[in-house]
Amino acid sequence: MLTTALMCFVISVTSGDTLVASCDHHQIVVRLAEIDAPEKRQRFGLDSKLSLSEICLNKNAEVTPKGKDSRDRTVAYVTCEGIDANTEQIKRGMAWVFDKYVTNKGLYDIQNKAKLSQSGLWKLDSPIPPWEWRKNTPAPKL
């Protein structure tokens, strides 16, 4: 269930679908709702992170929480200075519609347009969705 939007400032971007925002003098980690970006070690991971940075980093943001994920991140819709970051990442070919969690079926049309124009990761012959990549790639040893 959506709650009231928070007025925030984006202080860092950690991946193509995750950022840190300062809202009312406290920081929250925000996972963009309904999308899944390539992992950092995956092809297009850095491109996706840079794209979200271009959209949101060091900008005012409206963060509309939808809930929390298993890692206690705030899952939210994020608008940075008038740009819907969730949708823009799909439009640029920098993220997939996250099938498991999508409620806005219109995102599939945007993703199909990105595929047809070979935007971003759709330039690759066989892009691997991050949820499949995570399932088949061992975690790095620390």
* Lookup: tokens for 21: 């925002």
Kindly report, residue by residue over 96-123, the tens digit of the pLDDT: 999 888 999 999 999 999 999 999 999 9
DSSP strand E in 3-48: where? 6-15, 18-23, 26-32, 35-36
Contact 74, 68 (CB under 8 A): yes
Enter the DSSP assignment of 124.
S
Q: Which one from 31, 34, 88, 92 is the annotated catalytic residue?
A: 31
Is 73 one of the annotated active-site residues of the chain?
yes
Structural domains of the chain, ranges and CATH numbers in brackets: 6-136 (2.40.50.90)
pLDDT of 141 > 90? The answer is no
Examine the residue annotation and report whether 43 is marked as an active-site residue of this protein.
Answer: no
For tokens 């819709």, the residue is: 77
Full-model pTM: 0.93
User: Of 41, 54, 71, 73, which residue is the catalytic one?
Assistant: 73
Q: What is the pLDDT of residues 8-59, one digit of tens each?
A: 999 999 999 999 999 988 999 999 999 999 999 999 999 999 999 999 999 9
CA 90 to chain centre: 8
**The pLDDT value given to residue 142:** 64
